[in-house]
Amino acid sequence: MMAAITAAAAGAQVDILEGGPVLGKKILSTGNGRCNLTNSALDPTLYQGSGARIAAALMKEFNARDTIAFFDKIGIPTVAAASARGNDTWIYPACKEAAAVRKALELECERLGTAIYPNHKVTSIEKIEKEFLITTREGVQFVSDRVILTTGGKACPKSGSDGSGYELAAAFGHTLVTPLPALGALISDSPLCPALAGIRTDAIVSLIINRSIAAQEAGEVQFTDYGLSGIPVFQLSSWAVRALTEGKKVLMRIDLVPSLKLNDLYLRLSERKVRRGLNESGTLLLGLVPDKLVPSLLKLAGIRLHIPCSEISRDALMKLAYTLQNLEFEINDAKDFDACQVTSGGIPASEVSLNLESLKVRGLYFAGEILDVDGPCGGYNLQWAWTSGYKAGSEAAR
C-alpha cells in the first residue's frame, strides 16, 4: 500500500493485486493489535540480513519522522510510548487500533485512484519485451510497465505472506537466503519448562552460541511448557535460529536479579537467611522473584524446600545466588512461521540495486519482508515496510 500510494502520488497508474480478500491483513496483528508504526529512536544498525546496509541507507530518505508525518497527513495521529526495553520510544496510532491504520492506507490508495483487486493471487509474471504479463490464479491477466513485489516472507502465512513471492522472483533467476522464523518463541527440552510454565518476570537474557555471549536483551521473559517467550527472547530469536541451522550449540541464560553483582547478591541472601531464621527455606526468596519460581530455584541449588533458612549452608547459598543469575536453557528449535512475527532471509541484497530494482530484470522492484532484511521488535519491521515501499514506489513511478 505504501508503494502504491507513493507511485500514484507521483502520477503513475497503479493496480494492487491482492491474493486475499482484504489488503494489509498482516497489519492487524502488529503491536498486539495496536500497530507499533515506528520507533522515534530507531537505530538503523540493528537491522539484520544481507540487506541491512541498504535499509540503513534508505532510512535517510524516509525515516521515523517521515512516517509520523505521513500517517498524520492521512488521518492517523500518533502517540509515543516508552518501550519495554526502556531505551527507545515506540510510536502507535493515537487510537491504538491497527485496523484504523489498515483502513486509512486503503482509503488513501482509493483517493489516489489506485485500482484494488482482492482475491487476485498472482501465479506468474513474464517479461515480454518492455512489458510484464501478470497472470492470477483465476486466469485474469494484467499488463504493466513496472512490477513491485511486496508479497512478504513466510511469517504469518494466514495473513497472506505464504512464501509465494519467492517463486515469482525465482522465475527471473533470483535466489534466496534461506527463510527462517524470526521474532518468535524458542523451544527447549529443559525439564524446567513444564515446572515454570505460565511465569512472567523481568530479566536480562543472554544468547550463548558455542559458549560465547552473542547478544543480550532485557525485558519480560515468559516461561512456557515448551520453552521461552517474551520480547527479549523474540529479539534474540533470529540469531538463535540461524545458529541452530549452522549446527551450533545455543543456550539462553537468564539473569533474574540483574541489579546486583554476584557477590552482592550472595551477601543479600545471607542477610535474608539470618532474618528468616527458623522460617522455611521457601521464604528466602520472598519478594525477590515470583513465588512460583522458588521451588525450582531451590532445587537447582540443592536446597530442600521446607528446611529452616538457618540450616542452609554457605555453599548452597552461593550456588543459589549463581543460579538466580545464570538460569540456563538449551535451545533445540524455534516456533514455526505460523507463530513468529517476521521472516529472516529472503531475496539477497546482491541481487537488487539501492533503488530496490532487480539486477536480473529491468522494471521489477522489491519492497518489505520479501527482501533479506529484518529488525527487532519496536516498529523496526513496519518502518522497513514504509521506507522500502516509499522507495520502490517512487523509483518505479519515475
* pLDDT averaged over every residue in the chain: 95
Instruction: Give the phi and the psi of residue 75 in degrees, each rounded to 5.
Output: 95, 15
The architecture of the domain spanning 2-181+338-397 is: 3-Layer(bba) Sandwich (3.50)
d(C-alpha 145, C-alpha 130), whole Å: 7
Percent of the chain past pLDDT 70, that is, above it, reads 99
Confidence of residue 240 (pLDDT cuts 50, 70, 90): very high
Q: What is the dihedral of CA 69, 71, 74, 75, to 10 degrees?
A: -100
| pLDDT score recorded for residue 111 | 98
Helix ranges (H only) for 46-90 are 52-58, 64-73
Strand (E) or helix (H) holding 366:
strand 364-366
| pLDDT score recorded for residue 367 | 98
- 316: closest CA among 354, 266, 241? 266
The answer to whether the CB of 217 falls within 8 A of the CB of 238 is: no
Please write the tens of the pLDDT for every residue from 242-259. 999 999 999 999 999 999
Residue range(s) in the chain whose domain bears CATH number 3.50.50.60: 2-181+338-397
Please write the tens of the pLDDT for every residue from 268-299. 999 999 999 999 999 999 999 999 999 999 99
